[in-house]
Amino acid sequence: MISYIIRRILISICMLLAASILGFGVMKLTPGTYFDRLKLDPRIDQETIEREIGKRGLDKPVFQQYGMWLWRFVRGDLGDSFSFKRPVAGLIRGRVLNTLIMNIAAIIITWLIAIPLGVYAAVRQYKRSDKLLSGLSFVGMSLPGFFLALLMMWVFAGILGILPAGGLKSVDHDEMSLLGKVGDYSRHLVIPTVVLAVGALASLQRITRGKMIEELRQQYVTTARAKGLSESRVIYRHALRNAINPLITIFGYQFATLFSGAALMEIILNYPGMGRLIYEAIIAKDEPLVMAGFMIGAVMLLAGNLLADILLCVVDPRIAYQ
Protein backbone atom coordinates (compact mmCIF):
# COMPACT_ATOMS: atom_id res chain seq x y z
CA MET A 1 0.00 0.00 0.00
CA ILE A 2 2.71 2.44 1.06
CA SER A 3 4.80 1.65 -1.98
CA TYR A 4 1.70 2.12 -4.13
CA ILE A 5 1.11 5.57 -2.67
CA ILE A 6 4.73 6.56 -3.19
CA ARG A 7 4.55 5.39 -6.78
CA ARG A 8 1.36 7.34 -7.33
CA ILE A 9 2.93 10.48 -5.89
CA LEU A 10 5.95 10.14 -8.18
CA ILE A 11 3.65 9.74 -11.19
CA SER A 12 1.66 12.74 -10.00
CA ILE A 13 4.78 14.89 -10.04
CA CYS A 14 5.38 13.99 -13.68
CA MET A 15 1.72 14.73 -14.43
CA LEU A 16 2.02 18.10 -12.72
CA LEU A 17 5.05 18.95 -14.79
CA ALA A 18 3.17 18.07 -17.97
CA ALA A 19 0.11 20.02 -16.82
CA SER A 20 2.20 23.07 -16.01
CA ILE A 21 3.81 22.99 -19.47
CA LEU A 22 0.36 22.78 -21.02
CA GLY A 23 -1.05 25.57 -18.86
CA PHE A 24 1.92 27.85 -19.41
CA GLY A 25 1.84 27.14 -23.14
CA VAL A 26 -1.85 27.90 -23.53
CA MET A 27 -1.45 31.11 -21.57
CA LYS A 28 1.43 32.20 -23.80
CA LEU A 29 -0.43 31.28 -26.98
CA THR A 30 -3.28 33.66 -26.24
CA PRO A 31 -2.48 37.09 -27.65
CA GLY A 32 -1.11 39.96 -25.62
CA THR A 33 0.40 40.47 -22.20
CA TYR A 34 -0.77 42.21 -19.06
CA PHE A 35 1.07 45.34 -20.13
CA ASP A 36 -0.88 45.67 -23.39
CA ARG A 37 -3.54 47.35 -21.32
CA LEU A 38 -1.13 50.23 -20.83
CA LYS A 39 -0.69 50.60 -24.57
CA LEU A 40 -4.14 52.12 -24.91
CA ASP A 41 -3.32 54.79 -22.34
CA PRO A 42 -2.14 57.72 -24.46
CA ARG A 43 -0.19 59.14 -21.53
CA ILE A 44 2.30 56.27 -21.27
CA ASP A 45 5.37 56.09 -23.51
CA GLN A 46 6.51 53.05 -25.45
CA GLU A 47 9.80 52.86 -23.53
CA THR A 48 8.01 52.77 -20.20
CA ILE A 49 5.98 49.76 -21.31
CA GLU A 50 9.05 48.00 -22.71
CA ARG A 51 10.91 48.61 -19.46
CA GLU A 52 8.09 47.04 -17.46
CA ILE A 53 7.95 44.04 -19.81
CA GLY A 54 11.72 43.63 -19.59
CA LYS A 55 11.67 43.88 -15.79
CA ARG A 56 9.44 40.82 -15.61
CA GLY A 57 11.34 38.86 -18.23
CA LEU A 58 8.34 38.77 -20.58
CA ASP A 59 10.59 39.62 -23.54
CA LYS A 60 12.66 36.44 -23.12
CA PRO A 61 11.96 33.22 -25.09
CA VAL A 62 8.98 31.24 -23.78
CA PHE A 63 11.15 28.28 -22.71
CA GLN A 64 13.36 30.49 -20.62
CA GLN A 65 10.31 32.12 -19.04
CA TYR A 66 8.88 28.71 -18.24
CA GLY A 67 12.20 27.61 -16.73
CA MET A 68 12.30 30.72 -14.55
CA TRP A 69 8.74 30.14 -13.42
CA LEU A 70 9.35 26.44 -12.69
CA TRP A 71 12.51 27.14 -10.71
CA ARG A 72 10.64 29.61 -8.52
CA PHE A 73 7.64 27.30 -8.19
CA VAL A 74 9.80 24.38 -7.06
CA ARG A 75 11.29 26.56 -4.37
CA GLY A 76 7.79 27.47 -3.23
CA ASP A 77 7.78 31.00 -4.65
CA LEU A 78 4.63 31.75 -6.62
CA GLY A 79 5.92 35.14 -7.72
CA ASP A 80 4.37 38.60 -7.52
CA SER A 81 1.05 39.41 -9.13
CA PHE A 82 1.39 41.90 -12.00
CA SER A 83 -1.76 43.80 -11.20
CA PHE A 84 -1.70 43.75 -7.40
CA LYS A 85 2.09 44.16 -7.19
CA ARG A 86 2.28 41.85 -4.18
CA PRO A 87 3.04 38.16 -3.62
CA VAL A 88 0.54 35.75 -5.13
CA ALA A 89 0.64 33.52 -2.05
CA GLY A 90 -0.77 36.31 0.12
CA LEU A 91 -3.54 37.05 -2.35
CA ILE A 92 -4.60 33.42 -2.46
CA ARG A 93 -4.42 33.03 1.30
CA GLY A 94 -6.97 35.84 1.58
CA ARG A 95 -9.49 33.95 -0.55
CA VAL A 96 -8.86 30.29 0.08
CA LEU A 97 -10.73 30.07 3.39
CA ASN A 98 -13.89 31.63 1.92
CA THR A 99 -13.89 29.17 -0.94
CA LEU A 100 -13.22 26.28 1.43
CA ILE A 101 -16.16 27.18 3.72
CA MET A 102 -18.54 27.41 0.80
CA ASN A 103 -17.39 24.18 -0.84
CA ILE A 104 -17.35 22.12 2.36
CA ALA A 105 -20.84 23.31 3.23
CA ALA A 106 -22.02 22.43 -0.26
CA ILE A 107 -20.41 18.98 -0.21
CA ILE A 108 -21.87 18.12 3.18
CA ILE A 109 -25.34 19.18 2.13
CA THR A 110 -25.06 17.38 -1.18
CA TRP A 111 -24.06 14.09 0.40
CA LEU A 112 -26.50 14.31 3.28
CA ILE A 113 -29.38 14.79 0.88
CA ALA A 114 -28.34 12.95 -2.27
CA ILE A 115 -27.57 9.51 -0.83
CA PRO A 116 -30.76 9.01 1.20
CA LEU A 117 -32.77 10.37 -1.72
CA GLY A 118 -31.00 8.04 -4.15
CA VAL A 119 -31.63 5.03 -1.94
CA TYR A 120 -35.23 6.08 -1.42
CA ALA A 121 -35.80 6.41 -5.15
CA ALA A 122 -34.15 3.06 -5.83
CA VAL A 123 -36.32 1.24 -3.32
CA ARG A 124 -39.45 2.80 -4.78
CA GLN A 125 -38.40 2.32 -8.38
CA TYR A 126 -41.00 3.52 -10.91
CA LYS A 127 -43.39 4.57 -8.15
CA ARG A 128 -44.75 8.08 -8.19
CA SER A 129 -42.24 9.40 -5.64
CA ASP A 130 -39.35 8.03 -7.71
CA LYS A 131 -40.66 9.80 -10.78
CA LEU A 132 -41.08 13.02 -8.87
CA LEU A 133 -37.48 12.78 -7.70
CA SER A 134 -36.30 11.99 -11.23
CA GLY A 135 -38.14 15.02 -12.48
CA LEU A 136 -36.58 17.18 -9.81
CA SER A 137 -33.10 15.93 -10.51
CA PHE A 138 -33.49 16.62 -14.22
CA VAL A 139 -34.52 20.16 -13.38
CA GLY A 140 -31.58 20.47 -10.98
CA MET A 141 -29.10 19.08 -13.49
CA SER A 142 -30.26 21.26 -16.34
CA LEU A 143 -30.48 24.54 -14.41
CA PRO A 144 -27.24 26.44 -14.97
CA GLY A 145 -25.71 27.50 -11.64
CA PHE A 146 -25.45 31.17 -12.48
CA PHE A 147 -29.12 31.24 -13.50
CA LEU A 148 -30.24 29.59 -10.30
CA ALA A 149 -28.08 32.03 -8.36
CA LEU A 150 -29.70 34.99 -10.11
CA LEU A 151 -33.16 33.50 -9.63
CA MET A 152 -32.62 32.88 -5.92
CA MET A 153 -31.19 36.36 -5.43
CA TRP A 154 -34.13 37.87 -7.22
CA VAL A 155 -36.70 35.94 -5.18
CA PHE A 156 -35.09 35.78 -1.75
CA ALA A 157 -33.16 39.04 -1.74
CA GLY A 158 -35.06 41.17 -4.23
CA ILE A 159 -38.72 40.31 -3.66
CA LEU A 160 -38.92 38.70 -0.24
CA GLY A 161 -35.92 40.48 1.22
CA ILE A 162 -35.19 37.67 3.66
CA LEU A 163 -31.66 36.87 2.47
CA PRO A 164 -28.81 39.30 1.74
CA ALA A 165 -27.97 40.17 -1.85
CA GLY A 166 -24.64 38.40 -2.18
CA GLY A 167 -21.38 38.88 -0.35
CA LEU A 168 -20.10 37.06 2.73
CA LYS A 169 -20.62 39.60 5.50
CA SER A 170 -23.03 42.47 6.18
CA VAL A 171 -21.76 46.03 6.27
CA ASP A 172 -22.05 46.13 10.08
CA HIS A 173 -20.61 42.62 10.55
CA ASP A 174 -17.72 43.84 12.69
CA GLU A 175 -20.00 45.30 15.32
CA MET A 176 -21.89 42.01 15.81
CA SER A 177 -21.54 39.55 18.70
CA LEU A 178 -19.91 36.19 18.04
CA LEU A 179 -23.27 34.52 17.66
CA GLY A 180 -24.46 37.33 15.43
CA LYS A 181 -21.38 36.90 13.24
CA VAL A 182 -22.01 33.19 12.84
CA GLY A 183 -25.63 33.93 11.96
CA ASP A 184 -24.51 36.60 9.51
CA TYR A 185 -22.15 34.17 7.78
CA SER A 186 -24.83 31.49 7.59
CA ARG A 187 -27.37 33.86 6.06
CA HIS A 188 -24.88 34.83 3.40
CA LEU A 189 -23.92 31.21 2.73
CA VAL A 190 -27.46 29.99 2.05
CA ILE A 191 -27.69 30.95 -1.61
CA PRO A 192 -24.17 29.92 -2.72
CA THR A 193 -24.41 26.61 -0.88
CA VAL A 194 -27.83 25.79 -2.25
CA VAL A 195 -26.78 26.69 -5.79
CA LEU A 196 -23.65 24.56 -5.61
CA ALA A 197 -25.50 21.71 -3.92
CA VAL A 198 -28.39 21.63 -6.41
CA GLY A 199 -26.01 21.13 -9.30
CA ALA A 200 -24.06 18.33 -7.66
CA LEU A 201 -27.00 16.80 -5.82
CA ALA A 202 -28.97 15.82 -8.88
CA SER A 203 -26.24 13.75 -10.50
CA LEU A 204 -25.17 12.17 -7.23
CA GLN A 205 -28.76 11.18 -6.49
CA ARG A 206 -29.14 9.66 -9.96
CA ILE A 207 -25.94 7.64 -9.65
CA THR A 208 -26.87 6.37 -6.19
CA ARG A 209 -30.27 5.37 -7.46
CA GLY A 210 -28.90 3.52 -10.47
CA LYS A 211 -26.23 1.68 -8.56
CA MET A 212 -28.65 0.77 -5.76
CA ILE A 213 -31.19 -0.65 -8.22
CA GLU A 214 -28.42 -2.77 -9.68
CA GLU A 215 -27.35 -4.04 -6.24
CA LEU A 216 -30.89 -4.70 -5.04
CA ARG A 217 -31.30 -7.15 -7.92
CA GLN A 218 -28.27 -9.17 -6.80
CA GLN A 219 -28.75 -12.57 -5.28
CA TYR A 220 -27.07 -11.71 -1.97
CA VAL A 221 -29.89 -9.25 -1.32
CA THR A 222 -32.45 -11.95 -1.83
CA THR A 223 -30.40 -14.18 0.49
CA ALA A 224 -30.28 -11.49 3.15
CA ARG A 225 -34.02 -10.94 2.90
CA ALA A 226 -34.59 -14.70 3.03
CA LYS A 227 -32.46 -14.85 6.18
CA GLY A 228 -35.08 -12.58 7.69
CA LEU A 229 -32.96 -9.47 8.04
CA SER A 230 -34.88 -6.26 8.45
CA GLU A 231 -35.35 -4.29 5.21
CA SER A 232 -33.33 -1.29 6.49
CA ARG A 233 -30.45 -3.59 7.39
CA VAL A 234 -30.58 -5.16 3.94
CA ILE A 235 -30.53 -1.80 2.26
CA TYR A 236 -28.09 0.21 4.35
CA ARG A 237 -25.80 -2.56 5.62
CA HIS A 238 -25.55 -4.75 2.57
CA ALA A 239 -26.70 -3.10 -0.63
CA LEU A 240 -25.50 0.45 0.01
CA ARG A 241 -22.01 -0.64 1.03
CA ASN A 242 -21.64 -2.40 -2.26
CA ALA A 243 -23.11 0.49 -4.21
CA ILE A 244 -20.78 3.08 -2.78
CA ASN A 245 -17.68 2.54 -4.96
CA PRO A 246 -18.55 4.89 -7.84
CA LEU A 247 -19.64 7.50 -5.32
CA ILE A 248 -16.18 7.50 -3.79
CA THR A 249 -14.66 8.21 -7.17
CA ILE A 250 -17.03 11.15 -7.46
CA PHE A 251 -15.97 12.29 -4.01
CA GLY A 252 -12.40 12.37 -5.29
CA TYR A 253 -13.41 14.81 -8.02
CA GLN A 254 -15.40 16.93 -5.60
CA PHE A 255 -12.39 17.07 -3.31
CA ALA A 256 -10.42 18.46 -6.22
CA THR A 257 -12.76 21.44 -6.48
CA LEU A 258 -12.43 22.37 -2.79
CA PHE A 259 -10.05 25.24 -3.47
CA SER A 260 -11.23 26.21 -6.90
CA GLY A 261 -14.20 28.46 -6.89
CA ALA A 262 -17.07 28.72 -9.27
CA ALA A 263 -16.13 31.94 -11.03
CA LEU A 264 -19.43 32.75 -12.69
CA MET A 265 -21.44 32.19 -9.53
CA GLU A 266 -18.97 34.06 -7.37
CA ILE A 267 -19.23 37.08 -9.63
CA ILE A 268 -23.01 37.04 -9.55
CA LEU A 269 -23.19 36.44 -5.81
CA ASN A 270 -20.35 38.83 -5.12
CA TYR A 271 -18.63 36.08 -3.16
CA PRO A 272 -14.97 36.80 -2.32
CA GLY A 273 -13.65 33.42 -3.41
CA MET A 274 -10.86 32.01 -5.53
CA GLY A 275 -12.92 31.77 -8.70
CA ARG A 276 -13.35 35.51 -9.01
CA LEU A 277 -9.70 36.19 -8.27
CA ILE A 278 -8.43 33.74 -10.88
CA TYR A 279 -11.06 34.71 -13.45
CA GLU A 280 -10.08 38.35 -13.21
CA ALA A 281 -6.41 37.34 -13.40
CA ILE A 282 -7.07 35.42 -16.62
CA ILE A 283 -8.90 38.37 -18.17
CA ALA A 284 -6.06 40.72 -17.21
CA LYS A 285 -3.37 38.14 -18.14
CA ASP A 286 -1.83 38.41 -14.70
CA GLU A 287 0.42 35.42 -15.41
CA PRO A 288 1.83 34.52 -11.97
CA LEU A 289 -1.66 34.54 -10.47
CA VAL A 290 -3.17 32.50 -13.32
CA MET A 291 -0.42 29.88 -13.04
CA ALA A 292 -0.86 29.67 -9.27
CA GLY A 293 -4.60 29.11 -9.63
CA PHE A 294 -4.00 26.55 -12.35
CA MET A 295 -1.44 24.62 -10.31
CA ILE A 296 -3.65 24.57 -7.24
CA GLY A 297 -6.41 23.05 -9.37
CA ALA A 298 -4.03 20.45 -10.81
CA VAL A 299 -2.57 19.47 -7.43
CA MET A 300 -6.01 19.14 -5.90
CA LEU A 301 -7.28 17.01 -8.77
CA LEU A 302 -4.37 14.59 -8.45
CA ALA A 303 -4.67 14.54 -4.67
CA GLY A 304 -8.43 13.95 -4.90
CA ASN A 305 -7.94 11.01 -7.24
CA LEU A 306 -5.33 9.49 -4.98
CA LEU A 307 -7.52 10.01 -1.95
CA ALA A 308 -10.47 8.36 -3.70
CA ASP A 309 -8.36 5.35 -4.64
CA ILE A 310 -7.11 4.94 -1.08
CA LEU A 311 -10.65 5.29 0.28
CA LEU A 312 -11.89 2.68 -2.20
CA CYS A 313 -9.30 0.29 -0.89
CA VAL A 314 -10.35 0.96 2.69
CA VAL A 315 -14.06 0.61 1.97
CA ASP A 316 -13.91 -2.37 -0.37
CA PRO A 317 -11.63 -5.22 0.69
CA ARG A 318 -11.91 -6.72 -2.79
CA ILE A 319 -9.70 -3.90 -4.10
CA ALA A 320 -6.04 -4.20 -3.33
CA TYR A 321 -3.12 -2.30 -4.78
CA GLN A 322 0.27 -3.81 -5.26
Partner 1 sequence: MARVDSRIITVILLVATLTLVVGLLASCRSGDAGKKSKPKVLGIASPETYEPTIGSFGGRLVLATMGEPKSFNPIVENESSSREYTMIMWEGLTKSNPWTNEVEPNLAISWESDKSGLVWTVKLREGLTWSDGEPFTADDVVFTFQTIYDKRYICAMRDIITGPHGEEWQLERIDDLTIRFTLFDKNAIFPQLLAEGIIPRHKYKPLVDGGQFESALGTDTPPEEFVGTGPFLLKEYEPGRQVVMMRNPRYWRLDKAGQRLPYLDEIIFLLVPNMDVRLLKFQQGETDILDLRGEDFPVFAKEQAKVDYNLYRLGPYLGRTHLLFNQNTGVNPEMNEPFVEPHKLKWFRDKRFRQAVSYAMDRQGMVNNVFNGLGYPQYGPFNEASKLFFNNPGIRRFEYNLERARELLKAMGMEDRDDDGILEDAEGHKVQFNLTTNLENTQRNAVADIVRKDLETLGMRVNFRPMSFNALISKLDSTFDWEACIIGLTGSTEPHWGANVWRSSGRTHEWFPRQKTPSTDWEAEIDDLFARGIKELDREKRRQIYFRWQEIAAEQQPFIYLVAREITGVIRNKFANIFPTNLVVLREWALIHNLEEIYIKVE
| Interacting residue ranges for partner 1, rule: CB under 8 A | 30-33, 36-46, 48, 51-52, 80, 83-86, 90-91, 94-95, 98, 126, 131-132, 134-136, 138-139, 150-151, 153-155, 157-161, 164-169, 171, 267-273, 276-277, 280, 283, 285
Query: Nearer to partner 1 by C-beta: 282 or 303?
Result: 282
Q: Residue 179 CA to chain centroid, in angstroms?
A: 28
Query: Nearer to partner 1 by C-beta: 168 or 312?
Result: 168
What angle do helix axes 245-256 and 178-216 make, rounded to 10 degrees? 150
Least Å from the CB of residue 61 to partner 1: 17
Q: DSSP secondary-structure letter at 208?
A: H
Least Å from the CB of residue 298 to partner 1: 23
What is the C-alpha to C-alpha distance for residues 249 and 313, in angstroms, rounded to an integer? Answer: 11
Judged on CB neighbours under 10 Å (0-12, 13-18, 19+), 81 is buried
| Nearest one of 100, 114, 147 to 257, comparing CA atoms | 100
Query: Nearer to partner 1 by C-beta: 31 or 61?
Result: 31
Query: Nearer to partner 1 by C-beta: 288 or 304?
Result: 288
Least Å from the CB of residue 184 to partner 1: 12
Query: Nearer to partner 1 by C-beta: 164 or 252?
Result: 164
Least Å from the CB of residue 113 to partner 1: 17
Least Å from the CB of residue 44 to partner 1: 5
Least Å from the CB of residue 136 to partner 1: 7
Tell me if residue 80 falls in helix, strand or coil: strand
Query: Nearer to partner 1 by C-beta: 87 or 249?
Result: 87
- For 234-263, letters b (16+ CB in 10 Å) and e give bbeebbbebbbbebbebbbebbbbbbbbbb
